[in-house]
Amino acid sequence: MPGPAILAQHAGTGAQATAYTSPAGGNGTVISSLVFAGTATAGANATAEVRVAKAGAADAASQVLVPAFPVAAGSHLALTEGITLAKTDVVRVTASAGVNVHLYGTEL
């Protein structure tokens, strides 16, 4: 069984992007931590949002896991949620330029 790993690193652009897809050939994924890092210059209004789509379903408001929130320059926020994904579930991130999003966990 694979061990803990960096599952995704996403640099925000302001547009929604697929940050991670649980492999179809595996047995799912456990995301142990989501980390948001504010890399923008001081005074910038940066935000981030995370959605999880079952089996890569089309985007919907019901998929919001972490609602849009401000990310201050030079700050970071770590969420240790223990999110379990099935095969082909998708994590989508909308983050401003100046926000990096990291996912850590284990593919089963």
Over 70: is that where the pLDDT of 43 sits?
no
Q: Has residue 1 got a pLDDT over 60?
A: no
Give the model's confidence band at 3: pLDDT under 50 very low, under 70 low, under 90 confident, else very high. Answer: confident
Model confidence band, residue 42 (pLDDT cutoffs 50, 70, 90): low
Q: Write down the CATH number for the domain with range 5-107.
A: 2.60.120
Over residues 6-13, the mean pLDDT reads 96
pLDDT score at 16: 97
Backbone dihedral angles phi then psi of residue 18, each to the nearest 5 degrees = -80, 115
Q: Where are the domains of the chain?
A: 5-107
Phi, psi dihedrals of residue 29, rounded to the nearest 5°: -145, 145
Mean per-residue pLDDT for 17-45? 90
Give the CA distances from residue 50 to residues 66, 81, 93, in Å, rounded to whole numbers and listed in that order.
5, 12, 5
